[in-house]
Structure 1
Amino acid sequence: MSAPHPDELLIGLVSISDRASTGVYEDKGIPALQDWFGKALASPWRMETRLIPDDQPTIEATLIELCDRVGCHLVLTTGGTGPAPRDVTPEATLAVAHKVMPGFGEQMRQISLAFVPTAILSRQVGVIRGRTLILNLPGQPKAIAETLEGLKDAEGQQKVPGIFAAVPYCLDLIGGPYVETTDTVVKAFRPKSAIRPKAV
C-alpha cells in the first residue's frame, strides 16, 4: 500500500440528525459535501464520515475522536445549529474547542441572509482544536454549497466570499497540509508570501 501524499487533506464529515441516524430518512448532508469536495479540491484528499444523533456527549466524543485519534485536518458538521431544544451542535463544538474563530459563523449567516431571513436563527460556529479546524455547516445541500462558495453575480464574479476561500490558509497556519482548490468553484485566498509556486 502506498504512503499517503504529504499534502493529503483528511476531512471528517459529521451529519447530526436523530432521524437520519436511525434510518427514518436518508442523510443528505454527507453526500452533498462529498460531491462538493470532489469538484472544489485540486489537491489530494480523503474523508472519514460519521452519522450521529443530536446528543451533545455523542457529538463531543465524535469531534474529539476525529481530531485527536483519526487526525483529521478539517472537520465539518451539518445539522443541529438552530434554536430547537435538540439543536446542540454549537454547544458540543465549543465544549471541545481550544480557540474560537467567530468570523466563520458571522460570514455563514451573512451569506444565508441573502437568501432567507431565518438565517439569523442559525448558531453555527467555527473553532480550532489542536491542529484541526472544525466548522458547523447548515443541514441542507443547497445551503451547504452557498455557504462554502459564497455569492456570485450573473457574470460569475464573486460578490460575497464563501467561507472555504479562507480555509486553506487557516490550515497552513495551524500546521495542516497545503490545500489547493479549483478556482472555478472556490478560489483559495492566501497572502502572496504564503503561495507555493506551481509545480512545472
Structure 2
Amino acid sequence: MEEKPKRVPTRKILDTLAQMYPDAHCELNFRNPFELLIATILSAQSTDRQVNKVTEGLFQKYPTPESFLQLTEEELAEHIRGLGLFRNKSKNILKTCRILVEQYGGQVPQQREQLEKLPGVGRKTANVVLSNAFGIPALAVDTHVHRVANRLALANSKTPLETEQQLMKKVPRAEWSDTHHRIIWHGRRVCSARNPKCTICHLLPYCWYGKQVKKAK
C-alpha cells in the first residue's frame, strides 16, 4: 500500500460521519456513573450486547458499590460468567467497589488520575466514563476507533494511545465525544476488521485505505 497522506480532509470526514451517524451514542445501558463504570469494565473482550444482557439483572439486584460488596468474588463471577475474563473482572470490580466506598463515599470520581487508579480501569475505560457519565470531552480508543482512524489516515499509529493523541490534535475538543461514538458505529456497521463494506461507504472519497483497496481490484 502507498504511504498515508500527510494532509487529510479531516473536516469533510468528520462532517460525513456526523451525517451518517447523527444519533450515535454509547451502546452500553446505564443509569448513572457507577453503572457505566462497571459496564465498561465488563465490556473488555465482550460485546456491548453481551454486557447489556448481564447487567440488566445485575444492576437491579446490586445498584450500588455497597450492594456489590455483599457478594464474594465467586458469587459475582457466577453473575457475569457469560463474559470474557469473568473471574478477573469479578476480582477487579469488587476491589474497585471497596475503593469507591472507602475513599469516595460510594461515588465515581470525575478525575482521570483517580479513575485510572481503580482496579480494572485503564485509559480507555476512564475516557468512556468521563465522556458519557460526566460530559467531559474525551476520545476513548477501542479496537474500532484505532482501526478506522488509521484506515482514514486520521492517525498513523501502532498503539491506541498514539491514535488518541493524534485524534486529539485533529478533532476539535468539543467534538471528541461525538466523534468517538461515530467512529465506533462506523467500525461496527461498515468498516469491519474483515471484509469492510468499502463499496457502500460514504467516506470512500476521503478514505486512504478504501482507495488502496479499490486500486488493488
Larger radius of gyration: 2
More helix by share: 2
TM over 0.5: no
Q: TM-score range by the shorter chain?
A: under 0.3
Larger strand percent:
1
